[in-house]
Amino acid sequence: MVRHLHLVDCAYACLTHVGLEAQRAKGPNKNKNVLRLPPIQQLKADLRRAVWNEAVKDVAKVSHERTVIRRLEKLLAA
Protein backbone atom coordinates (compact mmCIF):
# COMPACT_ATOMS: atom_id res chain seq x y z
CA MET A 1 0.00 0.00 0.00
CA VAL A 2 2.75 2.43 0.93
CA ARG A 3 4.70 1.60 -2.24
CA HIS A 4 1.61 2.30 -4.34
CA LEU A 5 1.13 5.70 -2.69
CA HIS A 6 4.78 6.56 -3.29
CA LEU A 7 4.49 5.60 -6.96
CA VAL A 8 1.32 7.66 -7.38
CA ASP A 9 3.03 10.63 -5.74
CA CYS A 10 6.06 10.28 -8.04
CA ALA A 11 3.82 10.02 -11.11
CA TYR A 12 1.88 13.13 -10.10
CA ALA A 13 5.12 15.05 -9.50
CA CYS A 14 6.38 14.00 -12.93
CA LEU A 15 3.14 15.10 -14.60
CA THR A 16 3.26 18.40 -12.75
CA HIS A 17 6.80 18.91 -14.03
CA VAL A 18 5.62 18.26 -17.61
CA GLY A 19 2.83 20.80 -17.15
CA LEU A 20 5.16 23.42 -15.71
CA GLU A 21 7.61 22.96 -18.59
CA ALA A 22 4.74 23.44 -21.06
CA GLN A 23 3.73 26.66 -19.28
CA ARG A 24 7.30 27.97 -19.37
CA ALA A 25 7.48 27.25 -23.09
CA LYS A 26 4.42 29.48 -23.66
CA GLY A 27 6.14 32.48 -22.11
CA PRO A 28 5.77 34.55 -18.96
CA ASN A 29 2.58 34.20 -16.96
CA LYS A 30 0.83 37.46 -16.04
CA ASN A 31 -0.80 35.97 -12.93
CA LYS A 32 2.14 34.29 -11.20
CA ASN A 33 0.19 33.40 -8.06
CA VAL A 34 -2.10 30.86 -9.74
CA LEU A 35 -0.88 27.56 -11.11
CA ARG A 36 -3.10 26.41 -13.97
CA LEU A 37 -2.09 23.07 -15.40
CA PRO A 38 -3.78 21.22 -18.25
CA PRO A 39 -5.94 18.20 -17.38
CA ILE A 40 -4.12 15.06 -16.17
CA GLN A 41 -5.10 13.17 -19.35
CA GLN A 42 -3.36 15.76 -21.50
CA LEU A 43 -0.28 15.74 -19.26
CA LYS A 44 -0.14 11.95 -19.50
CA ALA A 45 -0.38 12.09 -23.29
CA ASP A 46 2.41 14.70 -23.42
CA LEU A 47 4.61 12.55 -21.21
CA ARG A 48 3.94 9.43 -23.30
CA ARG A 49 4.81 11.36 -26.46
CA ALA A 50 8.09 12.61 -24.95
CA VAL A 51 9.07 9.11 -23.81
CA TRP A 52 8.16 7.66 -27.22
CA ASN A 53 10.21 10.31 -29.05
CA GLU A 54 13.26 9.58 -26.91
CA ALA A 55 12.89 5.82 -27.41
CA VAL A 56 12.66 6.21 -31.19
CA LYS A 57 15.73 8.44 -31.23
CA ASP A 58 17.69 5.88 -29.19
CA VAL A 59 16.71 3.03 -31.51
CA ALA A 60 17.53 5.09 -34.60
CA LYS A 61 21.02 5.79 -33.22
CA VAL A 62 21.96 2.12 -32.86
CA SER A 63 19.99 0.59 -35.73
CA HIS A 64 21.70 0.03 -39.06
CA GLU A 65 18.46 -1.00 -40.76
CA ARG A 66 17.19 1.92 -42.82
CA THR A 67 13.76 0.31 -43.12
CA VAL A 68 13.42 0.16 -39.34
CA ILE A 69 14.44 3.80 -39.01
CA ARG A 70 12.01 4.89 -41.74
CA ARG A 71 9.17 2.93 -40.09
CA LEU A 72 9.93 4.49 -36.72
CA GLU A 73 10.03 7.95 -38.27
CA LYS A 74 6.60 7.35 -39.83
CA LEU A 75 5.23 6.22 -36.46
CA LEU A 76 6.79 9.22 -34.81
CA ALA A 77 5.18 11.60 -37.30
CA ALA A 78 1.74 10.05 -36.72
Q: Closest Cα partner for 20 from 39, 36, 40?
A: 36
Task: Give residue 69's domain range.
Answer: 2-77
Q: What is the pLDDT of residue 78?
A: 66
Cβ–Cβ < 8 Å for 39, 18: no
pTM attached to this predicted model? 0.59
pLDDT tens digits for range 26-77:
766 666 666 777 888 888 888 888 888 888 788 777 777 778 777 777 777 7
Q: How many domains does the chain have?
A: 1
